[in-house]
Amino acid sequence: MIRIRIGEEERDYASADEHWINQQINRRRADGQAVCVRVTVREAGLDMVLSTPTCATGGGGRQPRPQEKQVFELWDQRGLNDASFAGGNLIAFLRQLKSYL
């Protein structure tokens, strides 16, 4: 299961198309809101939640497994640890995430 949450809107991976992702991010930015994106991954040995910097955090968890560490690195490589990320960064991450599953 992969779920994408942007602000208060949430969809599963299959229904979170490029248009929806860009619309959600751009609409919030146009309204002057900080954009919080959370991606929840629970499949193929992965059990993790990735969040952009503007999301409130709930503190640390366990140490990531080796495969999860690779996914966290991909998140960082795609610029999603930068508050000024674009929809294209998230789309690229999601496409590449499938290769880890």
Mind listing the pLDDT tens digit for each residue in 11-55?
Answer: 999 999 999 999 999 999 999 999 999 999 999 889 999 999 999
Range of the domain at 91: 2-100
- Phi first, then psi: what are they for 96, rounded to 5°? -75, -30
Q: What is the pLDDT of residue 60?
A: 67
**Could you give the CA distance from residue 33 to residue 14 in angstroms, rounded to a whole number?**
26
Counting the structural domains of the chain, the total is 1
Question: Which spans in the chain are helix H?
Answer: 18-30, 66-77, 87-97
Q: Is the pTM of this model over 0.85?
A: yes
